[in-house]
Chain A
Amino acid sequence: MWKFVTGKLLQYVIVIMLMLTLNFLLPRLMPGNPLVFLAGEDVGFMTSKEKEAILEKHGLNDSIVQQYGTYLKNIFTGDFGFSYQQKRPIIELLKERLPWTMLLTGLGLVLSTIIGVLFGTISAWRRGTKTDANLLTMFMFLSAMPSFWVGMILVSVFSAQLGWLPVFGAESAWSNLKGMDRFIDIVKHLILPLTTLVLISVTSTFMIMRYSMLNVLGEDYIMMAKAKGVKEKVIKYKHAMRNALLPVATVFMLSLGFTLGGATVIETVFAYPGVGRLMFESVLSRDYPLIQATFLIITFSVVIANFLADLIYPILDPKVGKHNG
């Protein structure tokens, strides 16, 4: 087992190093003056001395190897650079945004997986019946709706007309709420974006689970379990669901990697202060260091999620792991 883990770990360290190197090279391979990226349009009004000072400050006069060394050191000490548009260190921005994104997309992923799995199982178990047909229609309908539209409808009904829930943000600004009150405030702000996220993402899990469960129910070992006299509930959950969950687990792990990237559209519609919106803002304002940092976060989390999947999969599926470790 440990040999397997360290082997995998080594693989991922190599992947991360490659990724960091690419991230380092990318802006240096792009055409144009680095000054434009660093100082923006103002560069035209600068004196050569000022330009020199900026290059010196960012170590751009050093050799490429030295620059690479500094870059790695900075990344590993948590220094992702400085956002010129927001006038703040990027690590501060990330620290501010990441928790909200993790709350929204993490919870969204967990909820849509649970709901999808549950209804997918029911649908497959009653294949061909009215329940199955209704569920299938409902989930297809959900997946056909664009997320910004669902978000806007929810806002207009529950916030604008009924006034039950807040329109935007992750919590009330300048309210100084503490403890339980703050928690309730946060939950209230979370409900609409979370609902939107779950509504538009639940269908894929449902479809995968339903299809996978249908396949498993046709397997001989299910009939064997029946012939053995195993109770229906036990067949459903112990024998069928356990096997049918494997593809869902794969998709879950893949999506987990992207949760830190946030849900750009939904965060924008609800003005939710997550990483997705940060990325959107950084692209709009051509804030290159920030774009780089957010992309780096996403790649990091994808790699970490893959590593987790590699660790968890052998536990879920005995066929995986032992032999390719």
Chain B
Amino acid sequence: MSTVLSVENLSTFFKTDKGIAKAVENVSFSVDEGEMLGLIGESGCGKTTVAQSILRLIEYPGKVVAGSVYLNGKNLLKATDSDLTGLRWREISVIPQSAMNALNPVYTVGDQIIEAILLHDNVNKKEAVERTKKLLELVGIDGERWKSYPHEFSGGMKQRVAIAMALACNPKLVISDESTTGLDVLTQAQVISLIKNLQKKMNLSVILISHDLPMVTSICDRIAIMYAGNLVEWASTEEILKNAEHPYSKALLNATPDLSNPEREVTSIPGSVPNLVNIPTCCRFHTRCPYAFDRCRQETPEFKEIKPGHYVACFLEEEQNG
């Protein structure tokens, strides 16, 4: 399988009054064709910043300070504005966080999908309308409702509209940024299975950003776990479930109830996420890690491959395996 997206050593910092907030530092991962990658981590760990960096949506006071993002071989971070216009939506699109606010309230949902189609594909208005209707049908909404305004839809339907919009120009890669936030559990499950079905049907590559570990493990091929702006572990779902190496990954797995093993005790992770402003060189998890030793407080562990396809950033692993 060929690689669609590869992110290498991506760092995105934000200028604040108190100093530089290293929201994302040295993040590397890749997504294969037709693969669903789960990017997971707690709130504020930089998942959305990674997504926005890939999409080139970071604005002042934020800045991508290092790294590269290759989409089918083209470096997105070096692309000019006109290159970007061509790439956006045709190659890479996004289902945004809280789709409730992602639709412009004064235009019909159809107009907003048609806008994307007309912008990128050489079709006339009538064809665009036809395609919009088909897209809405695809996500389970009556095609004739393209003339409705966002406020005339329920939250779950708006989310479906956002998915239809993301697929408008047959993109290769779709980033779903916590797109089920604010929906009830039942609707969440429907939306997620819709994304999964469409992904299989259209052979899409998807980055599924979430903090819902059980959901991600149930549908994703590979999982990347983020903590406080760093990627701590990246492997296949099976490998993560069976042989998670990083203490944070293990703690995260223990913090979620397991339906197949209800006897197991759910344990929370003590402490809280460190402040990312002016954070010193260290392993960012050391303040909450039960196994932390001196080296963790002084150096940042390298994110490296310990087994084929299994990447971890932890000194423990090094100590154990030489």
Of B57, B87, B88, the contact of A223 (CB 8 Å cutoff): B57
A243 near B104: Cβ-Cβ < 8 Å: yes
Whether, in the assembled complex, A239 has its beta carbon less than 8 Å from a beta carbon of chain B, the answer is yes
If A220-B96, A318-B151, A319-B151 touch, does A229 touch B102 (CB 8 Å cutoff)? no
Docked complex Cα distance between A128 and B60 (Å): 10
A228 near B116: Cβ-Cβ < 8 Å: yes
A228 near B89: Cβ-Cβ < 8 Å: yes
Of B57, B93, B115, the contact of A230 (CB 8 Å cutoff): B115
Whether, in the assembled complex, A231 has its beta carbon less than 8 Å from a beta carbon of chain B, the answer is yes
Whether, in the assembled complex, A219 has its beta carbon less than 8 Å from a beta carbon of chain B, the answer is yes
Contact residue range for chain A?
20 to 34
Residues of A within 8 A of B278 (CB): none
Residues of B within 8 A of A242 (CB): 106
Docked complex Cα distance between A316 and B107 (Å): 10
Of B84, B88, B102, B116, the contact of A220 (CB 8 Å cutoff): B102
Whether, in the assembled complex, B94 has its beta carbon less than 8 Å from a beta carbon of chain A, the answer is yes
Whether, in the assembled complex, B287 has its beta carbon less than 8 Å from a beta carbon of chain A, the answer is no
Docked complex Cα distance between A239 and B165 (Å): 16
A227 near B104: Cβ-Cβ < 8 Å: no
B89 near A224: Cβ-Cβ < 8 Å: no
Residues of A within 8 A of B281 (CB): none
Whether, in the assembled complex, B9 has its beta carbon less than 8 Å from a beta carbon of chain A, the answer is no
Q: How far is the CB of A22 from chain B (nearest CB, A)?
A: 39
Docked complex Cα distance between A313 and B103 (Å): 20
Whether, in the assembled complex, A225 has its beta carbon less than 8 Å from a beta carbon of chain B, the answer is yes
In the complex, residue of chain A having the shortest beta-carbon distance to the beta carbon of B108:
A318
If A229-B84, A318-B151 touch, does A223 touch B96 (CB 8 Å cutoff)? yes
Q: Mark A207-242, 1 if CB is under 8 A from B, else 0.
A: 000000000000111011111111100000001001
B104 near A221: Cβ-Cβ < 8 Å: yes
Whether, in the assembled complex, A62 has its beta carbon less than 8 Å from a beta carbon of chain B, the answer is no
Q: Mark B111-144, 1 if CB is under 8 A from A, else 0.
A: 0000110011000000000000000000000000
A227 near B57: Cβ-Cβ < 8 Å: yes
Whether, in the assembled complex, A96 has its beta carbon less than 8 Å from a beta carbon of chain B, the answer is no
B106 near A317: Cβ-Cβ < 8 Å: yes
Q: How far is the CB of A314 from chain B (nearest CB, A)?
A: 11
Whether, in the assembled complex, B254 has its beta carbon less than 8 Å from a beta carbon of chain A, the answer is no
Residues of A within 8 A of B199 (CB): none
Docked complex Cα distance between A231 and B151 (Å): 25
Residues of B within 8 A of A128 (CB): 60
In the complex, residue of chain A having the shortest beta-carbon distance to the beta carbon of B52:
A223
Q: How far is the CB of B214 from chain A (nearest CB, A)?
A: 27
Of B84, B93, B149, the contact of A318 (CB 8 Å cutoff): B149
Residues of B within 8 A of A316 (CB): 106
Residues of B within 8 A of A317 (CB): 105-106
Q: How far is the CB of B227 from chain A (nearest CB, A)?
A: 25
Q: Mark B77-105, 1 if CB is under 8 A from A, else 0.
A: 00000001111110001101110011111
**Chain B, range 246-267, C-beta contacts under 8 Å to A:** none
Residues of B within 8 A of A225 (CB): 104
Whether, in the assembled complex, B192 has its beta carbon less than 8 Å from a beta carbon of chain A, the answer is no
A221 near B84: Cβ-Cβ < 8 Å: no
A220 near B105: Cβ-Cβ < 8 Å: no
A221 near B102: Cβ-Cβ < 8 Å: yes
Residues of A within 8 A of B87 (CB): 229
A229 near B151: Cβ-Cβ < 8 Å: no
Q: Mark A185-223, 1 if CB is under 8 A from B, else 0.
A: 000000000000000000000000000000000011101
In the complex, residue of chain B having the shortest beta-carbon distance to the beta carbon of A229:
B88
In the complex, residue of chain B having the shortest beta-carbon distance to the beta carbon of A243:
B106
Whether, in the assembled complex, B20 has its beta carbon less than 8 Å from a beta carbon of chain A, the answer is no
**Chain A, range 275-302, C-beta contacts under 8 Å to B:** none
**Chain B, range 191-245, C-beta contacts under 8 Å to A:** none
Residues of B within 8 A of A231 (CB): 85
B84 near A219: Cβ-Cβ < 8 Å: no
Whether, in the assembled complex, B21 has its beta carbon less than 8 Å from a beta carbon of chain A, the answer is no
Docked complex Cα distance between A242 and B111 (Å): 14
If A227-B88, A229-B85, A319-B149 touch, does A220 touch B57 (CB 8 Å cutoff)? no
Residues of B within 8 A of A219 (CB): 101
Q: How far is the CB of B228 from chain A (nearest CB, A)?
A: 24
Residues of A within 8 A of B84 (CB): 229
Of B94, B98, B104, B151, the contact of A239 (CB 8 Å cutoff): B104
Residues of B within 8 A of A224 (CB): 94, 96, 102-104, 165
Whether, in the assembled complex, B55 has its beta carbon less than 8 Å from a beta carbon of chain A, the answer is yes
Docked complex Cα distance between A18 and B86 (Å): 62
A229 near B98: Cβ-Cβ < 8 Å: no
Q: How far is the CB of B119 from chain A (nearest CB, A)?
A: 6
Residues of B within 8 A of A228 (CB): 88-89, 93, 115-116, 119, 165
B96 near A319: Cβ-Cβ < 8 Å: no
**Chain B, range 27-67, C-beta contacts under 8 Å to A:** 55, 57, 60
B105 near A243: Cβ-Cβ < 8 Å: yes
Q: Mark A41-80, 1 if CB is under 8 A from B, else 0.
A: 0000000000000000000000000000000000000000
Residues of B within 8 A of A230 (CB): 115, 119
B119 near A318: Cβ-Cβ < 8 Å: no
A220 near B115: Cβ-Cβ < 8 Å: no
Residues of A within 8 A of B97 (CB): 220
Residues of A within 8 A of B98 (CB): 220
8 contacts between A and B (CB under 8 A): A219-B101, A220-B98, A221-B103, A224-B96, A227-B57, A229-B120, A239-B104, A318-B149
Give the A-binding residues of B (Cβ under 8 A).
55, 57, 60, 84-89, 93-94, 96-98, 101-106, 115-116, 119-120, 149, 151, 165
* The 4 residue pairs across chains A and B that have the minimum distance between CB atoms: A229-B88, A220-B101, A221-B104, A318-B149
Sample of 8 more A-B contacts, CB < 8 Å, known A229-B119, A229-B120, A231-B85: A219-B101, A224-B96, A224-B102, A227-B89, A229-B84, A230-B115, A230-B119, A243-B106
